[in-house]
Amino acid sequence: MSEKDTSNWTPSADMAEFQKVLRSSKNIIAVCGAGLSAASGIPTFRGAGGLWRKYEAMSLATPETEAFAENPSLVWQFYHYRREKARAAEPNAAHKALAVFSIPSYRKVIAPDAGFTIITQNVDGLSVKAMNQVLQKEGDPRPTGIATLLEMHGRIFDVNCTMRLCKHVEYNTSSPICAALAGTENAVEAGTIDAEIPKDKLPRCSKCNALARPGVVWFGEQPKYMPEIDKLVDAADLCLVIGTSSTVYPAAGYAAEVSDHGGKVAVFNLERSDGDGEADFLFLGPCEKTLPEALGLVKLN
């Protein structure tokens, strides 16, 4: 966000002013992180109650060559725990507000000329679930023209084969995904995870029976949809930064890119986060409250 003189800059918390910007925007992106799903009962990584206070990030979220290769049992227990959390969770008012805002017929009341895309780092599937719920409410399960949702870090219910020649991907929401993981979520929650589950008892590819891995993007791996996302960021004139600590790149850099080419940035977070001092708007507080308000959608249930 280099073009703004930030020496005496304080981001605005003025909702009415933000809504004026929203109304005149043409290309809006929402860059979302774990805080979006916190009110749905899914722990964040960082921030208050963050999961990585208990577990060392790099030992749980690096590819086959590193953490997973070293200890697939530990990694699978961690992801089994997160799968269980995601299975039990329901979208909250912030997911629903984004889902409603994605529907052109609703959006045109608030931002008449704007396109809108959600770029989420979350792997829990709750934004998709919210969209399906909102659309079913409208009595039309698949209307055309709905804004795009890009799950750039993959999906926790995808299970990928680790064999290069197979690479089979299966969408699997079973609980537990395999018998050996049953109950291990309690040890993860308690921070006492230690059981060594043999590789042949961990999830296997349903096609070739090789070891399978969670279908999420780990540190050192390329996020998904990068060409599409780069184009969206280039074109964006408003970037909503929602529930992310803005520490994981490339997503952490999108707001700065939008600001650098003259777009506006609005941050929604419980607490101060990286880069928010240079944002145009900063709405501190739970996004499940601030976001529906900011998008003019407070009457959600």
Residues in the site for ligand NAD, rule: CB under 6 A? 33-35, 37-39, 42, 44-47, 50, 121-124, 153, 243-245, 247-248, 268-271, 273, 286-288
Type of residue found at 253: G
Closer residue to ligand NAD in complex, CB, 180/294: 294
| Cβ–Cβ under 8 Å, residues 239 and 214 | no
Residue 12, beta-bridge partner list:
281
Residue 183, beta-bridge partner list:
none
Residue with nearest beta carbon to ligand NAD: 35
Q: Which tokens hold the place of 125?
A: 């599937």
CA dihedral in degrees (252, 253, 255, 259; nearest 10)? 160
Closer residue to ligand NAD in complex, CB, 205/245: 245
List, in sequence order, every beta strand (DSSP E) within the chain.
27-32, 115-120, 149-151, 154-161, 169-171, 212-216, 238-242, 264-269, 281-284
Closer residue to ligand NAD in complex, CB, 78/116: 78
Other beta carbons less than 10 A from residue 17's beta carbon = 12
Least separation in angstroms between residue 23's CB and ligand NAD is 24
Least separation in angstroms between residue 245's CB and ligand NAD is 3
- Is 190 exposed, middle or buried, given 0-12, 13-18 or 19+ CB atoms closer than 10 A? exposed
Least separation in angstroms between residue 46's CB and ligand NAD is 4
Least separation in angstroms between residue 41's CB and ligand NAD is 10
Other beta carbons less than 10 A from residue 123's beta carbon = 25
For β-strands 115-120 and 27-32, DSSP reports them as parallel
Check 80, 95, 153, 261 and give the catalytic one. Answer: 153
Closer residue to ligand NAD in complex, CB, 180/185: 185
Residues annotated in a binding site: 33-52, 79, 82, 121-124, 161, 166, 205, 208, 243-245, 269-271, 287
Active site residue 153: yes
Least separation in angstroms between residue 209's CB and ligand NAD is 28
Closer residue to ligand NAD in complex, CB, 23/289: 289
Contacts of residue 50, defined as CB under 8 A and 6 or more positions apart, other chains included, come to 43, 44
Q: Annotated catalytic sites, by residue?
A: 153
